[in-house]
Amino acid sequence: MSRIEEIKQYFFVLWELTKRELKRKYARSFFGILWSSIYPLFRMILVVLLFSTIFDKGIDRYPAYYFVGFLMYEFFITATSNSLTTLKDNRDLLIKSKLPRELLVLSRVLTAFVNFLLGCIPFALVLVVYDAHFSFYYAYVPIILILFVAFTAGISYMLSIWYVFRRDARNIWMNFTMIMRFFIALFYHITWVSKGVQAFIRNNPIYGFIYTCRNYLVYGEKVETFYLWEIGIWTGVIFVLGFLIFRKYENEVVIHL
């Protein structure tokens, strides 16, 4: 088999695993896949109604501002949380097949990304309603999202191994992501907090992804070079580190499952 055919087969298997995860996710859902578009919109409306008197006056196009952060962080939480139990959930498949094990984790990340893309449908309408600044910076957004998927995949690789050896990893990670929600300027502006907290937020790679997409999509503005370097470096380090850790311990996984 040629190298090109191997790559094609790799992506074919990845897509089949992703479709399996999507079918499993929506098998018992009344709204089905439509819920992935409805839920983010309802969540945005609720937050805007609750905080409109506090934040709406201080943040231009606040609904769109919040929607970007919510969609991206929801993708990150969903992908990483679902990836935690990937190896345990697929124990029989790991034993009986010779599939590259990293594909199982990556399929859950891609499943979450498909949900993210569905959530972008109502978000596009919000951009139109709130008169977002359309510009050529929109062309950079797919690149940022690809890097975000790679960054999330790196985290997911590490978490899936961690969960095999420490079953309390899920509770730890859920609490960590809940706390982190308040340190990515999700529903407030970064300038509203102290200098020390600002420095922490700016060096948080997740905030870097959200800030970049907000500037490009909502305001049509250029992003400081610092954030672009931050995104690139963090993505490279986390993805490579996560993949290496996964490969190092993947053979020990079956013994501990």
pLDDT at 206: 97
Mean pLDDT in runs of 10 for the chain (257 residues)? 69 81 66 66 69 66 89 95 90 77 92 90 85 87 97 97 90 94 90 92 96 95 94 97 92 71
How many C-beta atoms lie closer than 10 Å to residue 148's C-beta?
25
Token digits of residue 101: 């094990």
Residue-range definition of the domain harbouring residue 135: 3-256
**Which helix (DSSP H) or strand (DSSP E) does residue 208 occupy?**
helix 205-214
For the stretch 192-205, what's the b/e string if a residue is b when 16 or more beta carbons lie within 10 angstroms of its beta carbon?
eeeeeeeeebbebb
Cα separation, 101 vs 88, in Å, equals: 12
- For 192, the token pair is 């509203």
pLDDT of 51 reads 61
Sign of CA dihedral 137, 143, 145, 151: negative
The structure tokens listed for 67 are: 């929607």
Report the domain count for the chain: 1
Residue 127's pLDDT is 87
d(CA 31, CA 123): 19
